[in-house]
Amino acid sequence: MRILFLGDIVGRTGRDAVAAALPGLRQSLSLDLVIVNAENASHGFGLAPAMADVLFAAGADVLTLGNHAWDRKELLGYIETQPRLIRPLNYPQGTPGHGAVVVDLAGGRRALVLQVMGRLFMELNDDPFRLTAELLGKHRLASNVDAIVADIHGEATSEKMAYAHSFDGRVSLVVGTHTHVPTADAQILPGGTAYQTDAGMCGDYDSVIGMEKGAASARYWRRVPGDRLAPADGEATLCGVYVETDDRTGLATSVSPLRTGGRLAPMFPVPLA
């Protein structure tokens, strides 16, 4: 299976770049599954339902959220009707929506996509490790699903790494989101799980993690209320992670960063023959 995960979309420039590029990426990489983190797609804060529809129409199979999930209140109703939009699994019981979804793919294959939110330097939510273990007790690679992708949305690299090692061999890919900077540690762990600490963002990198750099930088110079942060609107770089899996086991056979457009050095995956 060929899987592409795109990191946090930030604002209009990131959203438009993803929507424009996805159809071509699906074709050129012969993708079976596309997952996009979209929690900052609406002006840098949250996701509007209409924008989710655009991303689905462009070729996203699943959208994930994060700590900005409810910045757009209209999403509360939308998420109840759209199972392919997921929020963190470890949000308290009773929160709208779901933290995981099984999607049906071409050829009769099925993939489980889940998201958890880290707890170090983040909101205090339920235990992401325990809840993931419970979910994986119901869904097993090469049994009732052909691939499993886990998005861990968090600040701490140590927590993301510990999470990945905890479930090595039980999922196809663990990928971090939230910090908006692509890490240089794409690898296959000893048990066969692909991993990258952070996928990076899809947005303008002439910025402070996607936000206009003047207002964002000013916050570190003085402790007074400033202008509301707004997304930078220059050319976007698309950042993500590309993974190929073994059809027999569901585990990774290759992993590679994807970076295209904008300011960062380009890197484009070469699919295995």
Residues catalogued as catalytic: 68
Q: What are the distances in angstroms from CA 30 to CA 183, 196, 198, 256, 264?
A: 25, 22, 24, 15, 24
Q: What are the distances in angstroms from CA 61 to CA 111, 212, 253?
A: 10, 30, 22
Residue reference for tokens 């900052």: 40
The DSSP bridge pattern shows strands 100-104 and 147-153 to be unpaired
Q: What is the largest CA-CA distance in the chain?
A: 57
Query: What is the 3 state secondary structure string of 5-18?
Result: EECEEEHHHHHHHH
SS3 201: strand
Exposure pattern of 133-166 as b/e (b: 16+ CB <10 Å)? eebbeebebeeebbbbbbbbbbbbbebbbebbee
> What tokens does 216 get?
């964002």
Q: What are the distances in angstroms from CA 94 to CA 20, 72, 98, 118?
A: 36, 18, 10, 19
User: 185: closest CA among 199, 171, 172?
Assistant: 199
Beta bridge partners of 111: 103, 147
Which amino acid, residue 123?
E
